[in-house]
């Protein structure tokens, strides 16, 4: 969780300095959903992600250095500079890709899970998406088909309260997106997405159900995007008071507090973790800066027709 | 050689590929007990069962996306779009997802999906059940576009498309489903993607078509022969990659070109072919290129109006006489 947090903070900083071009959507504040869900998976499982996907990728074991290099548009990035922040994948890690289209991955995840089911594997697919994507047609079409075919997929909605600038209360007439599961005859659970253990618990149940051949589950993780939507978002659509209230519910601080209270996290270990994370993120930035740019002569590599 | 219909040929290709490779499955609307709106998958549910012949709800964006996702896992889905007019509903999974996967994710990503779409007019179905959209897909890097005219090519190209590791848009013109022609019985014959067919050899003028257009061009060539005009007919079979070599060779020989295209004229496949001929073999042209296309108009339902909209053999003959006269 801390790697994701520090990584995203560095991304924001590098953007403001103009060292990263294009766009990126940091997942600061949503780390517990990424880690809680991905920690419940095993080999042979797959994950699809969203435009806000660095955290999911890191939680799946993605190399922060190669992710950062992709943000820098470098040859050593996961997509050799062709994808940028929203388009990278490592199938060997089970990470089938972020997605630049809101809701674009929901049907893909369902199809990947259908294929796993056809092949008779025990694998499943986790599909991350946001509250915004829950209003796309592909959400409804995919949940319906996943339900009728009992496809082993977990639909994990990270409800961070904002679809770019639109408050979830203005974009839908219900309070719990999880209730939409009723329409498709599948279980739907809303959970505190900032509580790592709660996320783990709900995910494990849904995984068991999927592996037992009972089909999909819709999990709504209620969380908060603490940063702006992307670079240069002045966040005029919400109050600083609201942000401060959610800052007090920060998932990393909450976990650290619990672990300290339980005597699991000593201050030495805490310091050690923080130092480690600093090293990982600094190394990622260094790797990205030092990596070569893609050769323009390779522009057409991978264009099949 | 035995003679079978275009739809029978497609069914044979699907059946043979489902038998050959356990990763192949078909999905679409009403393809199960109903057998597909045009009967292509008739009987296949009984042979292969519901795991491999999947009837879908009416959710084009959803099931095309599902097919793309399944293809990432090594499945080889063949999706039927009942009318190509419905394909705009599924543009995101095709254009933003399938077409880009190989380019952005490198060799780890294979997307062996075939999207079969029933296209074209002539059946009086009106403006939302008669269209052809091949140019949209040609315009998207990463998509192969195939449009066979004969039963033999329908079978051989569908088999090649299913074996291709990248997404293929497979266009079946509705007016061709009942047409018959010789088709090899063996399951081994395939037709390579990217190779045009010289349907008729000639020296005086080149007529380029595909799908129904190629059939109309052949009929026009027969009429022109009575006037002493020897037309060469190229049936493109594949639109992307475009077989420019065969086109250029023919144009160098004849110096005159007609392109017939059933889609509206502006930014159509015929526009691209015309431009490529100018770029590659301009010096060999003895006359301006002529296009015989549908005007920029939706396809009307009335038989009289639809016939006025769609290009046919008489239009091609007229254009050829103007060019050679």
Q: Are the beta carbons of B259 and B240 closer than 8 angstroms? A: no
Q: Could you report the per-residue pLDDT of B66-107, keeping only the tens digit for each?
A: 999 999 999 999 999 999 999 999 999 999 999 999 999 999
Share of chain B above pLDDT 90, in %: 99
**A112 in B contact zone (CB under 8 Å):** yes
B159 and B262, same domain (yes or no): no
Examine the fold and report which residue of B148, B182, B216 is the final residue of a domain before the chain moves on.
Answer: B182
Q: Could you report the per-residue pLDDT of A57-71, keeping only the tens digit for each?
A: 999 999 999 999 999
Size of interface A-B (CB pairs under 8 A): 137
Q: Are the beta carbons of B93 and B167 closer than 8 angstroms? A: no
Q: Do the Cβ atoms of B65 and A106 come within 8 Å?
A: yes
**Cis, bond preceding B282 (omega within 30 deg of 0):** no
Domain-located, residue B188: no
Distance of residue A249 Cα from the nearest chain B Cα, in angstroms: 36
Q: Do the Cβ atoms of B92 and A100 come within 8 Å?
A: no
Model pLDDT, residue B325: 83
Helix orientation angle between A2-16 and A31-38, rounded to the nearest 10 degrees:
140
Separation of alpha carbons A96 and B72, rounded Å: 8
Query: Per 3-state DSSP, what percentage of chain B is helix, strand, and coil (rounded to 5)?
Result: 45, 20, 35
Distance of residue B151 Cα from the nearest chain A Cα, in angstroms: 25
Per the prediction, chain B carries an average pLDDT of 97
Catalytic residues of B: 60, 129
Q: State the alpha helices, DSSP H only, in A63-150.
A: 64-71, 104-118, 137-148
Selection from A72, A16, A82 nearest residue A230 by Cα: A16
Separation of alpha carbons A213 and A218, rounded Å: 15
Q: What CATH number is associated with residue B87? A: 3.40.50.970
For A2-297, CATH gives 3.40.50.970
Return the residue in A107, A129, A146, A149 with the most chain B beta carbons within 10 A, the one to mutate for interface testing. Answer: A107
**B66 in A contact zone (CB under 8 Å):** yes
**A185 in B contact zone (CB under 8 Å):** no
DSSP letter, residue A220: E
B175 and B271, same domain (yes or no): no
Model pLDDT, residue B106: 95
Spatial CB neighbours of A70, under 8 Å, sequence gap ≥ 6: A77, A78, A79, A81, A83, A84, A85, A88
Model pLDDT, residue B83: 98
Separation of alpha carbons A81 and A70, rounded Å: 5
Q: Are the beta carbons of A192 and A178 closer than 8 angstroms? A: no
Share of chain A above pLDDT 90, in %: 97
Spatial CB neighbours of B280, under 8 Å, sequence gap ≥ 6: B244, B248
Calculate the CA B92 to chain-centre distance. 21
Show residues of chain B in contact with A110, CB under 8 Å: 62, 65-66, 69
Question: In terms of residues, how long is chain B?
Answer: 325
Q: Do the Cβ atoms of B105 and A83 come within 8 Å?
A: yes
**A113 in B contact zone (CB under 8 Å):** yes
Domain-located, residue B187: no
Separation of alpha carbons B179 and A82, rounded Å: 45
Show residues of chain B in contact with A101, CB under 8 Å: 92, 96-97
Show residues of chain A in contact with B108, CB under 8 Å: 89-92
Model pLDDT, residue A162: 95
B171 and B72, same domain (yes or no): yes
Q: Are the beta carbons of B141 and B99 closer than 8 angstroms? A: yes
Nearest CA in chain B to A125: B69
Q: Could you report the per-residue pLDDT of B128-181, keeping only the tens digit for each?
A: 999 999 999 999 999 999 999 999 999 999 999 999 999 999 999 999 999 999
Domain-located, residue B191: no
Separation of alpha carbons B109 and B126, rounded Å: 39
Model pLDDT, residue B110: 96
Examine the fold and report which residue of B120, B148, B182 is the final residue of a domain before the chain moves on.
Answer: B182
Helix orientation angle between B313-324 and B212-226, rounded to the nearest 10 degrees:
50
CA distances from A7 to A13, A71, B153 (A): 10, 12, 54
Model pLDDT, residue A287: 98
* CB-closest option in B71, B109, B142 to A305: B142
Distance of residue B238 Cα from the nearest chain A Cα, in angstroms: 12
Selection from B215, B13, B185, B9 nearest residue B114 by Cα: B13
Selection from A226, A218, A252, A238 nearest residue A168 by Cα: A238
Domain-located, residue B96: yes
Separation of alpha carbons A268 and A119, rounded Å: 48
Question: In terms of residues, how long is chain A?
Answer: 305
Domain-located, residue B134: yes
Dihedral angle, C-alpha A82, B87, B50, A120, nearest 10 ° = 10
Strands B231-235 vs B197-200: parallel, antiparallel or unpaired: antiparallel
B124 and B252, same domain (yes or no): no
Show residues of chain B in contact with A108, CB under 8 Å: 65-66, 68-69, 72, 93, 97
Selection from A101, A77, A81, A98 nearest residue A89 by Cα: A98
B130 and B237, same domain (yes or no): no
Structural domain including B235 reads 197-324
Distance of residue B205 Cα from the nearest chain A Cα, in angstroms: 29
* CB-closest option in B62, B142, B143 to A107: B62
Q: How many CB atoms sit inside 10 A of residue B42's CB? A: 16
Q: Could you report the per-residue pLDDT of B268-312, keeping only the tens digit for each?
A: 999 999 999 999 999 999 999 999 999 999 999 999 999 999 999
Model pLDDT, residue A230: 87
Burial (Cβ within 10 Å: 0-12, 13-18, ≥19) of residue B196: buried
Domain-located, residue B190: no
Q: Are the beta carbons of B167 and B219 closer than 8 angstroms? A: no
Spatial CB neighbours of A73, under 8 Å, sequence gap ≥ 6: A21, A22, A81, A84, A293, A294
Q: Are the beta carbons of B273 and B208 closer than 8 angstroms? A: yes
Spatial CB neighbours of A282, under 8 Å, sequence gap ≥ 6: none
B173 and B254, same domain (yes or no): no
B215 and B319, same domain (yes or no): yes
Q: Could you report the per-residue pLDDT of A87-137, keeping only the tens digit for each?
A: 999 999 999 999 999 999 999 999 999 999 999 999 999 999 999 999 999
Q: Are the beta carbons of A96 and A46 closer than 8 angstroms? A: yes
- Is it the case that residue B246 has pLDDT exceeding 90? yes
Calculate the CA A195 to chain-centre distance. 15
Show residues of chain A in contact with B51, CB under 8 Å: 118
Q: Do the Cβ atoms of A110 and B92 come within 8 Å?
A: no
Domain tally for chain B? 2
Model pLDDT, residue A304: 87
Q: Are the beta carbons of B300 and B127 closer than 8 angstroms? A: yes
**A153 in B contact zone (CB under 8 Å):** no
Q: Average pLDDT per run of 10 along chain A, which is 305 residues long?
A: 98 93 93 97 97 97 98 97 95 97 97 97 97 97 98 98 95 97 98 98 98 98 94 90 96 97 96 98 98 97 91
B100 and B158, same domain (yes or no): yes
Nearest CA in chain B to A140: B62
Find the distance separating the first CA and the last CA of chain A, reported in whole Å. Answer: 41
Selection from B22, B15, B149, B135 nearest residue B87 by Cα: B135
Nearest CA in chain A to B142: A305
Q: Are the beta carbons of B181 and B152 closer than 8 angstroms? A: yes
Q: Do the Cβ atoms of A116 and B142 come within 8 Å?
A: no
B204 and B177, same domain (yes or no): no
B26 and B137, same domain (yes or no): yes
Q: Are the beta carbons of A72 and A88 closer than 8 angstroms? A: no
Distance of residue A259 Cα from the nearest chain B Cα, in angstroms: 39
DSSP H/E element including B118: strand B114-119
Selection from B164, B156, B158, B162 nearest residue B190 by Cα: B156
Examine the fold and report which residue of B182, B206, B226 is the final residue of a domain before the chain moves on.
Answer: B182
Q: What CATH number is associated with residue B267? A: 3.40.50.920
B204 and B296, same domain (yes or no): yes
B23 and B151, same domain (yes or no): yes
């Amino acid at each position: 969780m801390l790697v994701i947090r520090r990584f995203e903070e560095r991304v924001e900083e590098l953007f403001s300095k103009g060292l990263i071009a294009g766009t990126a959507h940091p997942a600061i504040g949503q780390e517990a959903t990424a880690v809680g869900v991905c920690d419940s998976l095993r080999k042979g499982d797959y994950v699809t992600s969203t435009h806000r996907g660095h955290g999911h990728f890191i939680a799946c074991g993605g190399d922060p250095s190669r992710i950062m290099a992709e943000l820098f548009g470098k040859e050593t990035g996961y997509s050799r500079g062709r994808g940028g922040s929203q388009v990278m994948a490592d199938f060997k890690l089970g990470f089938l890709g972020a997605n630049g289209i809101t809701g674009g991955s929901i049907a893909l995840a369902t199809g990947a899970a259908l294929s796993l089911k056809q092949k008779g594997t025990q694998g499943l697919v986790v599909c991350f998406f946001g509250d915004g994507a829950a209003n796309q047609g592909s959400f409804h079409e995919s949940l319906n088909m996943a339900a009728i075919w009992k496809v082993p997929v977990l639909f994990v909605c990270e409800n961070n309260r904002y679809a770019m600038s639109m408050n979830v209360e203005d974009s839908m007439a219900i309070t719990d997106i999880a209730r939409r599961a009723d329409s498709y005859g599948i279980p739907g659970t809303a959970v505190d997405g900032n509580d790592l253990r709660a996320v783990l618990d709900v995910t494990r149940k849904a995984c068991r159900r999927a592996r037992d051949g009972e089909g999909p589950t819709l999990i709504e993780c209620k969380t908060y995007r603490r940063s702006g939507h992307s670079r240069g978002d002045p966040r005029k659509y919400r109050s600083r008071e609201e942000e401060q209230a959610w800052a007090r519910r920060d998932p990393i601080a909450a976990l650290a507090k619990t672990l300290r209270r339980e005597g699991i996290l000593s201050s030495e270990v805490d310091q050690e973790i923080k130092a480690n994370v600093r090293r990982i993120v600094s190394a990622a930035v260094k790797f990205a800066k030092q990596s070569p740019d893609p050769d323009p002569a390779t522009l057409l590599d991978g264009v099949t027709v | 050689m035995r003679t079978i219909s275009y739809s029978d040929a497609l069914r044979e290709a699907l059946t043979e590929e489902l038998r050959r490779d356990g990763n192949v499955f078909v999905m679409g609307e009403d393809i199960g007990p109903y057998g597909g709106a045009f009967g292509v998958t008739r009987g296949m549910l009984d042979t292969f069962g519901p795991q491999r012949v999947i009837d879908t709800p009416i959710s084009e964006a959803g099931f095309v996306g599902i097919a793309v996702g399944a293809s990432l896992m090594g499945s080889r889905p063949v999706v039927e779009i009942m009318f190509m007019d419905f394909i705009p509903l599924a543009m995101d999974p095709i254009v933003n997802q399938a077409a880009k996967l190989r380019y952005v994710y490198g060799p780890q990503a294979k997307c062996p999906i075939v999207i079969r779409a029933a296209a074209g007019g002539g059946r009086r179905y009106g403006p939302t059940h008669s269209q052809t959209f091949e140019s949209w897909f040609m315009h998207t890097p990463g998509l192969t576009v195939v449009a066979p005219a004969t039963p033999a090519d329908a079978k051989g190209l569908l088999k090649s498309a299913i074996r291709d590791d990248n997404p293929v848009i497979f266009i079946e013109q509705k007016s061709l489903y009942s047409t018959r022609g010789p088709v090899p019985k063996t399951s081994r014959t395939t037709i390579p993607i990217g190779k045009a067919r010289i349907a008729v050899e000639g020296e005086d003028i080149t007529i380029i078509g595909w799908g129904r257009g190629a059939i109309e061009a052949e009929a026009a060539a027969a009429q022109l022969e009575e006037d002493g005009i020897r037309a060469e007919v190229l049936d493109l079979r594949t639109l992307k990659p475009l077989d420019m070599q065969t086109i250029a060779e023919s144009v160098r020989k004849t110096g005159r070109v007609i392109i017939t295209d059933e889609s509206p004229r502006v930014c159509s496949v015929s526009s691209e072919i015309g431009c490529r001929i100018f770029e590659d073999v301009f010096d060999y042209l003895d006359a301006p290129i002529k296009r015989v296309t549908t005007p920029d108009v939706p396809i009307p339902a009335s038989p009289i109006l639809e016939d006025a909209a769609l290009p046919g053999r008489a239009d091609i003959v007229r254009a050829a006489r103007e060019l050679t006269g």
